[in-house]
Chain A
Amino acid sequence: MKKNLLLISATVCIALVTSGCQPVQAWERGTLAKPEMAIDADPMETTLNNHIFFSKEASNGGHSAAGGGCGCN
């Protein structure tokens, strides 16, 4: 029940967020190119966090395929 509720809530939120898409010309994308607007703004921090949470939590997976394993999990 909780799983279905979470899935429905996430789908509704995503639909609301993307419903307002506007055409953006190439010369209007300066803000989107800022480092703080990247999906991964700090790759070294993301790598470390992914490793820590892979070691300490049961879940993993994100915006890329899984890499190699380690004895930490």
Chain B
Amino acid sequence: MPARADTPPTETSLGYRISTYEEDKLPEEFLFSGSPERYDITIHQFQLVTPVGENYGLTLSSSYESMSGASPWYALEAFDGEKSIVMSGATIHEQRRDYNLTMRRYQDNGNYAFSLGTSKENDYDSWSGGFDMARNFNNDLTTLSGGISFSNDDINPTDAALFNRVTDESKRTASGFFSLSQIIDQNSLFQSSLNITRHNGFLTDPYKLGDLRPESRTQVAWSNAYRRFFTSLDAAIHLDLRLYDDDFGINSVTLDASWYQNIGDSWQVTPSIRYYSQSAADFFTPVNDFTSPGIPNSSDYRLAAYGAVSGGLQVQTRLDDLTLTFVLERYVTDDGYSLYGGDSSPALVNFTRMSLGVSYTF
């Protein structure tokens, strides 16, 4: 939420973006069996932002994903004693659609909004709703904002009978945030936010053999954002820091830096860099333990200790009412990049992502 008097949108903006996401193959030395080909995903995004009357703004967003590829099924110790991954044999082909609607009411001293959302896959349905509000103080130099959201997810894994998977499970999520934004001077501002999320229900991954996770999870994230404009350079810097903690035993730190360089009146080039590091979950095991049923354990690489560095470049140009956007990003993981100790996984993923978008304002 910006720390300035809020006004509804004055124009309608329609945007479309297509993205390709490709994961690197699993290295042969870590593959025990199955396909080394990991996920390839194509994502189509749509967004409409429009004023409604004098005091309201409506945002409609939607996305459609189609994905194919194999994923880690379980981890074992190979004949040479090294950790090795059994990948799913057949390539999956799946689609996901999501729709989100936000109606925001703008007032003299702030705004508030109601949101609804849904996500649908052949094995996963999610419904969510939320409310947030913001109030400006101190001559609109300071903004306090907060909000809550709830979601209910239904999980019906495919091929449940064939692979002895669960059927008809569910998960409920409640989340809240509190945020403080502050204008520092004519060229800079700062925002700090605390987000707490609680999940209850089925949190285990049904597609990973032997995976068992606790039935609740509490996550806390403290996010900080700094924005500064350099008039002599016609450029802005974005610095973001997030600290995270949860009761799975995972801590993480995320650092983002982006430089928005304007070139003339119609071009903008934005290089960015991101560093991420997480510790391992308490119940993470680099090799699945099938001898202790009922005890939480998972070899899911996303619960391992590791670090990731990503670099990106965005190029944007404005042609009258049209804005064209191109983004290229490369994400690389390594257990050596981590600030934390703990077990890691040979199934860490690297990926490349490209996006091309157009938006029209009228």
Binding site for B on A (CB under 8 A): 2-3, 6-7, 10, 13-14, 17-18, 20-26, 28-29, 31-34, 36-39, 41-45, 47-48, 51-53, 56-73
Q: Which residues of A contact B45 (CB under 8 A)?
A: 44, 47-48
Complex Cα gap A24–B63 (Å): 40
Q: Which residues of B contact A (CB under 8 A)?
A: 1-2, 4-5, 15, 17, 19, 21, 43, 45, 47, 61, 63, 96, 98, 100, 115, 117-119, 121, 123-124, 126-128, 130, 132, 139-141, 147-149, 151, 153, 155, 171, 173, 175-177, 179, 181-187, 189-193, 195, 197, 219-227, 229, 231, 236, 238, 241-246, 248, 250-254, 260, 262, 268, 276, 278, 281, 302-303, 308, 314, 325, 327, 331, 339-340, 349, 351, 353, 355, 357
Whether A28 touches B186, Cβ cut-off 8 Å, given contacts A61-B219, A68-B127, is yes
Tell me the bound Cα distance from A65 to B276 in angstroms: 21
Asked if B15 and A21 sit within 8 Å, CB to CB, the answer is no
The 9 closest A-B pairs by CB, nearest first: A61-B221, A71-B124, A68-B128, A66-B175, A65-B149, A68-B126, A61-B195, A36-B260, A65-B175
The answer to whether A65 and B177 have CB atoms under 8 Å apart is: yes
Assess whether A59 is in contact with B260, with CB atoms less than 8 Å apart. Answer: no
Can you list 19 A-B contacts with CB-CB less than 8 angstroms, sorted by A residue number? A2-B340, A13-B224, A22-B185, A24-B183, A24-B185, A29-B186, A31-B229, A32-B229, A33-B4, A42-B325, A57-B252, A60-B221, A61-B223, A62-B193, A62-B223, A64-B147, A67-B130, A70-B96, A70-B124
